[in-house]
Structure 1
Amino acid sequence: MKFKEIHIGNLIKKRTVESGIELSRICNFIPCTEEQAFEMYNASSLDTDVLLRWSKLLGYDFFRLYTQHMILYAPPPSENRDQRIKKTSQMPVFRKNIYTREIIDFILELIATGQKTKQEIMQQYKIPKATLYRWINKQG
């Protein structure tokens, strides 16, 4: 899957079809009308509370799609700003990034095709050296 353009409504619709969940159950859980459910299938973005309900109902973490987008496409923060935020932030700190199979394959493909060096991957995506080499060793 490409994480550059995320149309969340299409993805929710696909997962709903895969799951075979009836529309009446969806409308009770979200809560919404049938028309609103169909509107959500066409929406490119949704409120986080609604997206959380869809994630629970369909047993799929739709937020991870956005996390993968951030890993791949967000510009890396400057080191000065990063250090300043760590000292003053009240936000929770997560110990590690979430790397899906798609992300790992994408990174390994960049290396295999010569588009990026291992050093560039580690710097641009902030992937630890040990993690990157573990992926490479498992691939071969």
Structure 2
Amino acid sequence: MMNFKNINIGELIETKWAEAEISIERTCNFFKLNEDEIMQMFHQNSLNTDMLLKWSKLLEYDFFRIYSQHLILFGPPSNIYGENAKQKKQASSLPTFKKNLYTREIIDFILELIYTGEKTKSDITQEYGIPKTTLYKWIQKHKTT
């Protein structure tokens, strides 16, 4: 099960790299680094965004999405009706994203927590801020047989 709370990106990259069976020579050439520098990255908890983008391209996997899932689960809830709502609605030159977009991976992660008994439905709604109705719809829709 993917741990979205404590992300060790170096370890995840190493796992995907091994699965992809990309040679160390090709990897070194791609990054213009030596083998030791590549191996050191596998032991880092975080990488800069340029490096993460390169790994995403080489391995054809969106490592940034792991952090997006973390934000969905553990980020602060957006307050569209609070007293600062007007201030938050100010135009920005940056793109805006909805916080409450639950991917299949997030749904599976949440349901696995429930099915394994690691968390109760109440724990899920309180800890992750997922509405009860949404959670019950997921359970109904994705029932395991």
**CA distance 1:22–1:82, shift in 2 (3 Å):** farther
Q: 1:76 Cα shift?
A: 1.4
Question: Which residue does 2:33 correspond to in 1?
Answer: 32
Question: Which residue does 2:59 correspond to in 1?
Answer: 58
Could you tell me which runs of 5 or more consecutive residues in structure 2 were left unpaired when the two chains were aligned. none
1:97 aligns with 2:98: no
Question: Which residue does 1:116 correspond to in 2?
Answer: 122
Q: 1:83 Cα shift?
A: 4.8
**CA distance 1:87–1:65, shift in 2 (3 Å):** same
Cα RMSD for the two superposed structures: 2.9
CA distance in 2, matches of 1:27, 1:20: 14
State how 1:1-140 maps to structure 2 within 5 Å: 1-79=2-80, 80=82, 81=84, 83-94=86-97, 97-101=101-105, 103-108=106-111, 109-110=113-114, 114-116=120-122, 120=125, 124-125=129-130, 135-140=138-143
Q: 1:133 Cα shift?
A: 6.0
TM-score by length of 2: 0.74
Could you tell me which runs of 5 or more consecutive residues in structure 1 were left unpaired when the two chains were aligned. none
Q: Which has the higher helix share?
A: 1
CA distance in 1, matches of 2:29, 2:102: 32
Q: 1:98 Cα shift?
A: 4.9
The superposition leaves residues 112-137 of structure 1 with CA deviations (integer Å, 9 ceiling, x where unpaired) of: 9643289x47x924x7x6x6565334
AA aligned opposite 1:31: K
Please say if residues 110 and 116 of structure 1, whose CA atoms lie closer than 8 Å, have aligned partners that are also in contact. no
AA aligned opposite 1:12: I
The superposition leaves residues 27-82 of structure 1 with CA deviations (integer Å, 9 ceiling, x where unpaired) of: 12123221211111111100101100000101111111111111111121333345
AA aligned opposite 2:48: D
TM-score by length of 1: 0.77
Report the count of equivalent residues. Answer: 135
AA aligned opposite 2:104: T
Q: 1:93 Cα shift?
A: 2.0
**CA distance 1:42–1:92, shift in 2 (3 Å):** same
Q: 1:17 Cα shift?
A: 0.7
AA aligned opposite 2:58: L
Please say if residues 9 and 40 of structure 1, whose CA atoms lie closer than 8 Å, have aligned partners that are also in contact. yes
